Structure 1
């Protein structure tokens, strides 16, 4: 279970973010803080894996707090000026999500973080460059635009997960059979995933000579 501390100056917003987080399987909010000082107290008490951090805190800016956290952090803030964004990334923020955002957008980033954490745990054997590259790709796998109009982000994620499970290039017919959806639907979602870079499309020529579209995930 991934322990999370939510740091947000508005207690109502903090509660919303906590509720969004706990909807994501594998995540548990261990505390919420409305100030930087309280955030440090909770971190020392609970030793969370992840902090969801606002920038506009009453006692100190979130970006000034980042280096002291001693834990992974994702910024959840309305601050959009380049200086703040760059300062947050330079101080170690793993991701940056601008308010207002949907539960789905946060869930995408949390799910990507969970995969990153599993791929690159704090303790364990040394890793090579390929493993580091895979971990970095996984970390930002949730940084994608919403599904095209008329499409469900949940279905898009299911299709993407099916590609990952397969471990090799797969056709729309194979994905459709596995997920119990129409082939045309699978094809539409696969094409959208390829368009935004989450999947790669190739052609396979069968006995009939007609090419068949094959898809594989770009995050390995």
Structure 2
């Protein structure tokens, strides 16, 4: 799997200074992401987006000079909507306008972090493929939505789902270190979930022997 060399640049648009900086910190704490200084209005957002060209905007709906949804429809980059607005009509409008994700405040840091990591994997698949085939696009979409799919009746954690999705999307074998980088967790955490997934038969593990030292564990999607 190719890991994106350049960090994904994220702009937080929220007029609540405390919330904006909290979300900016959530972004900066994740490997592979960097946050631009937050802005608190539509006017500021338009200036910064035109000048800085972020990869992703985390957009509030309630802004002092209008609705964030006014900005959403014309964006030339991706967007998550992060808002207290939970009205059905607002959610539908945001999704129709192109929001990749709609999160209702308040939420815990892990909730946003999991979706940002899924977004990074989605971008990685689309940017590293030599040709964007229907299968590649569908695989990227599956990986992006794997966070939600992973939390189901079986009780699988979002992290376990993200590890499984990273291995499934790789198209080959990965080491625990490579999985950790793709998911944005420590190597020890990745190894723990990989071991459990291999034991249950959901992924395949083999040992690769080098000239010296211990054999390396390699993981791939299960063929069953």
Please report the TM-score for the alignment, with normalisation by the length of structure 1: 0.69
Q: Confirm whether residue 71 of structure 1 aligns to residue 60 of structure 2.
A: no
Tell me the distance in 1 between the aligned counterparts of 2:53 and 2:75.
10
Q: Which residue of 2 aligns with 1:179?
A: 191
Q: Which residue of 1 aligns with 2:26?
A: 20
Q: Cα–Cα, structure 1 residues 144 and 151, in superposed 2: closer, same or farther, change >3 Å?
A: closer
Q: 2:167–2:221: 8 Å Cα contact kept in structure 1? A: no
Question: Could you say what secondary structure the match of 2:147 adopts?
Answer: coil
Q: Which residue of 2 aligns with 1:44?
A: 50
Q: Which residue of 2 aligns with 1:34?
A: 40
Q: 2:121–2:166: 8 Å Cα contact kept in structure 1? A: no
Residue 100 of structure 1 is aligned with which of 106, 119, 124? 106
Question: Could you say what secondary structure the match of 2:31 adopts?
Answer: coil
Aligned length: 184
Offset at residue 135 of structure 1 (A):
1.2
The aligned runs of 1:1-220 (5 Å cut-off) are 1-121=7-127, 126-144=131-149, 154=159, 157-158=162-163, 161=166, 179=191, 186=196
Tell me the distance in 2 between the aligned counterparts of 1:120 and 1:112.
13
Q: 1:2–1:50: 8 Å Cα contact kept in structure 2? A: yes
Please report the TM-score for the alignment, with normalisation by the length of structure 2: 0.68
Tell me the distance in 2 between the aligned counterparts of 1:144 and 1:56.
29
Q: Which 5+ residue runs of structure 2 have no aligned equivalent?
A: 1-6, 174-189, 204-219
Q: Cα–Cα, structure 1 residues 55 and 190, in superposed 2: closer, same or farther, change >3 Å?
A: farther
Tell me the distance in 2 between the aligned counterparts of 1:96 and 1:76.
6
Q: 2:150–2:156: 8 Å Cα contact kept in structure 1? A: no
* Cα deviation 1:89-147 (Å, max 9, x = unaligned): 111111111111111110111011111111123x9754221111111112222235769
Q: 1:5–1:50: 8 Å Cα contact kept in structure 2? A: yes
* Cα deviation 1:2-24 (Å, max 9, x = unaligned): 00100011011000000111111
Offset at residue 29 of structure 1 (A):
0.5
Q: Cα–Cα, structure 1 residues 129 and 159, in superposed 2: closer, same or farther, change >3 Å?
A: closer
Q: Cα–Cα, structure 1 residues 84 and 190, in superposed 2: closer, same or farther, change >3 Å?
A: farther
Tell me the distance in 1 between the aligned counterparts of 2:31 and 2:123.
14
Q: 1:3–1:27: 8 Å Cα contact kept in structure 2? A: yes
Tell me the distance in 2 between the aligned counterparts of 1:52 and 1:22.
13
Q: Which residue of 2 aligns with 1:209?
A: none
Q: 2:55–2:78: 8 Å Cα contact kept in structure 1? A: yes
Q: CA RMSD in A?
A: 3.6
